[in-house]
Amino acid sequence: MKAAAIIGGGVIGGGWAARFLLNGWDVRVFDPDPDAERKIGEVMANARRSLPGLSDAPLPEEGRLSFHAEMADAVAGAIWIQESVPERLEIKHKVFAELQAACHPDAIIGSSTSGFKPSELQAGAARPAQIVVTHPFNPVYLLPLIELVTTSANDAAQVARASEQLTELGMYPMHVKKEIDAHIADRFLEAVWREALWLVKDGIATTEEIDEAIRMGFGIRWAQMGLFETYRVAGGEAGMKHFMAQFGPALKWPWTKLTDVPEFTDELVDLIADQSDAQSGAHSIRELERIRDNNLVAMMRALKGQDWGAGALLNKQDTRLRDGSPLTGGVDEIGDLSQPILTVARAVPLDWTDYNGHMNEAKYLEAFAAATDRFMELIGCDAGYIASGGSYFTAETHIRHLAEVHAGARIAIRTRMLVGEGKKLHLFHSMYEGDELLATGESFMLHVDLKTRRPSPPSREIEAAMDQIRSAQADLPYPDGAGMAIRQPG
């Protein structure tokens, strides 16, 4: 079992401990703070809740976590040592001296420093080559970027070994070969931070408005394409050179307080355009647009599930779209109950498709489940009723896939109640695109008491609503495919 030593158990150190531990490493912690064990335990609880959900493959068995009163005991047997002590160079130098007096000479010592250069950390060290910068981003157990910053003292074999270990942790080690204060990513953050401070100070924007500008706009774009690829797409078919010719002169305009900018020369334009071609030239602009759109839809739909940021905005828009549509209200507000009832009307999102280019089978169930939820709401089993202690549990489902469904298709699901009496509710859903029948979904449910978790009769109001639908649909023929088991075509 590989062992890592964590020196400093604050927010960053705790995140490193979780990343190593949940990827199968033994973790040995040194931190003189008497609350270190509690603090790391709380970080670990959050990591156990979230990190495993990033993987669709089984994670290794969790390693062993131990806390040590002496730094020498913590580093015993460790092949990776992660320093996350306060950002004071004299403290770091003292820690490195103690570490190198006790640790194995081949162990990698990574520093979480966000600002110091590795040459500053290596100064005066017994073995400078042992020390590298491995700057993470919070939360360390979720965000993959590690800025691996080295000097000429670090040989290629050590850099490769560090990169390999970080990659095995599911991280993205970006080797920064030319050291600079604050490395790369924090310099971007610092530039945005400085400009934000000016906007607040000058009364241009509030902190909330600035955060909304980021998370409702370019922050989502940057999350999936970064800066230069985003601008490449913005340049259209003419490409990066066109974008820079169009917007490059704006660097000389007083748009920002950060006015020290590089001279906009032909050489700089060619350098950036050539690098952009190497980075993204394998895709046409239309392909990059589709990739961008796929990513944006997937991220914003994920945010919808959390009702946060742009996702919360989309949820509010959904509510507005539903208001006054046939997909709201109770049974008395449905105009014609004699026909199967519209329970879903929506477009198929990009992230519902699979490797075959059509809707994933799990999403058929999701769509039919939404139809069931709407029918339950229609008869009075809404959020308020469920909160009072009654609901329906699905006992059996059968789906027939009759035609392919592709992204962007506008689907409608119409629902027939086959049985609705006592504890039983038997629904038959039909999914259409226009007049084409795409799939059917049949569900049998039982009403339950949520306190006992056992079947129970529904309320009189629900019984009355089901009676109303049953009476209205009594003359409808039994739907084709209902009650059918899996059959093999002849």
- Which segments are annotated as binding site for NAD(+)? 8-13
Q: How far apart are CA 376 and CA 209, in angstroms?
A: 40
Spatial distance between the Cα atoms of 178 and 119, rounded to a whole number of angstroms:
11
**3-state SS assignment for residue 261:** coil
Closest among 405, 327, 335 to 371, alpha carbons compared? 327
Judge contact between 93 and 19, C-beta under 8 A.
no
Closest CA to 424 of 452, 455, 401: 455
Total residue count of the chain as it appears in this document: 490
Task: Name the one residue in this structure whose structure tokens are 């009355």.
Answer: 464
Handedness of CA 227, 229, 232, 233 (dihedral sign): negative
> Which residues are known binding-site members?
8-13
CB < 8 Å & 24+ apart, contacts of 137-141: 137/185, 138/11, 138/12, 138/15, 139/15, 139/46, 139/47, 140/12, 140/15, 140/16, 140/18, 140/19, 141/15, 141/18, 141/19, 141/22, 141/43, 141/46, 141/47, 141/50, 141/51
What is the amino acid identity at position 140?
V
> Reduced to 3 states, what is the DSSP secondary structure of residue 6?
strand
Output the DSSP codes for 164-205. Answer: HHHHHTT-EEEEE-S--TTTTHHHHHHHHHHHHHHHHHTTS-
Match 């704006």 to its residue by tokens: 250
Contact 467, 443 (CB under 8 A): no
The residues facing 400 across adjacent strands are 440
Rounded CA-CA distance 432/85 in Å is 60
**Do residues 368 and 406 touch, judged by C-beta distance below 8 A?**
no
- In sequence order, which ranges of 412-475 are alpha helices (DSSP H)? 460-472
Confirm if 244 and 273 have CB atoms less than 8 A apart.
Answer: yes
Contacts of 204 (CB under 8 A, 6+ apart): 198
In 3D space, the residue among 327, 316, 332, 262 whose CA is nearest the CA of residue 472 turns out to be: 332
